[in-house]
Amino acid sequence: MSGMKRILLVLCILSAAACNDKGRGYDADIYDPLSECVLPEAARAGEEVIVQWNGFEDDPAISLLSEDGTGYEAEVLIVTASGLIFRIPVQTPPGSYMVEELTENRQLGVIRVDEAEAPVTGLNVPSGLKQGETAYIEGIGFEEGCVVIFIDSSGNEYAFDTEMTYSGISFIVPSELLPGDYVVYYEQGGVRWPAASSVAVYEDLVIKALKRIDYTAPYIGGAMLKLSWDISADDPVTLTVSEYVVEGDTESLEVYDRYVCGEDGWFELVNDGFEESNDLKMFYERDSDGTVVRADVLIYGDKQTTSFRWTYDGDGFLTEIASPSRPLRSLSYEQGNLTVFRNTIFEYSDQSLVNNPSAPDVVWGYMSLMEKNDPFIYFPYLLGWYEKTSALLPSAMVVPSPSGTGKVTHPLAYTFDDDGYVTSMSWDSYSVRFIY
């Protein structure tokens, strides 16, 4: 055989191999789907798909070919004289696919595959867990054999077998699982699903009640201005917001507002020191779980109370406080962290700043001092009625500039006690102290 003929033969072989290469994605100009075959335009991964056509053999094989050449074998469930039903593999990524019948090498048509729908609804994962204890995850749709997977910041995976409970699943947090922040998944039916973006594991969870919050800022000359919330859980429950001027070791009380809870459950302003105080009386309605659902507030200048509704998202985070005529506050969250509170933005770039799930949320503590003119918003926080807290501590906050024409970013620093509770949050010459 001459050299030229040998080259031509090799080229023909390579050309034939390329034409039969199943790694190449489908091309609408090349593929010619059966015109008489009917299949839906779209379906979710994991769903059943009905194909209408009367030419299938007894044992057809169905595959989905992506545009990049990846094939996904589908499970054929039923074959009849008028068509078949197949299930899209649940792990199939969203995108456009050519549906192929491999036995007779036919192209049936193009289908759009949408993201699979998670099998568990009403998912509720604790934000913090203690080593060696039983953890509970709530949700409807868990199956026997479900496995919970923890992934640390280095990508190491830890899988835990679960047991079914009346409200979801449970598992033992191993005592040897290192303290830290983890991403959590659950796996069942051979598919891994996201459960929580941040779960903290602790050696021990200590419950402490908040007693006082102090905010300190530069004032006139070398003096400092201090704003404080004092919380007394004794009977009667008393909440006091105060303003002090601090010069050296001398602390002078300027003004204060004091609210006392009566036997009827109403908090009443018994000492009015701040001129900007809006709220004179307030009463809170809580559901069987202790969650605040409504507050009736007597606002200065009004003859009747205004009813404010507390609204929560599917994860149990408070998203809005509003009345029918007065949308008062809306809050934004990302991955279980409070990111926007009124005109302040909180950033969470440091994944090592894990919040103790039993500790009060530092964002709420800061805002309770910045907006003391509407205290009814913060009483549930001060009294420990909000169980949901941000998974992380903010690494910085972004506030309007003094000129009002831009924004200023303040990196935040923290101190902690031996139980992992934040004792101070500080930036520049400012600080917020938490006393338990």
In the block, residue with structure tokens 């807290």 = 389
Model confidence over 350-378: pLDDT tens digits? Answer: 877 888 878 899 999 999 999 888 899 99
pLDDT of residue 217: 95
Instruction: Determine the Cα–Cα distance for residues 106 and 45; give it in Å rounded to an integer.
Output: 22
This prediction has a pTM of: 0.60
pLDDT at residue 16 greater than cutoff 70: no
Model confidence over 250-293: pLDDT tens digits? Answer: 999 999 999 999 999 999 999 999 877 788 999 999 998 899 99
Instruction: Determine the Cα–Cα distance for residues 350 and 338; give it in Å rounded to an integer.
Output: 14
Q: In sequence order, which residues have a C-beta less than 8 Å from that of residue 402 and are 6 or more positions away?
A: none
- Higher pLDDT pick, 407 / 402: 407
| Span 212-235, average pLDDT | 94
pLDDT of residue 327: 65
Candidates 229, 237, 225, 235; CA nearest to 212 is 229
3-state DSSP assignment of residue 91: coil
Residue 269: count other Cβ atoms within 10 Å of its Cβ: 20
pLDDT of residue 191: 84
Q: What is the dihedral of CA 52, 54, 56, 57, to 10 degrees?
A: 150
3-state DSSP assignment of residue 9: helix
pLDDT of residue 27: 65
- On whether the CB atoms of residues 419 and 204 are closer than 8 A, the answer is yes
Model confidence over 91-102: pLDDT tens digits? Answer: 899 999 999 999
pLDDT at residue 11 greater than cutoff 60: no
pLDDT of residue 19: 31
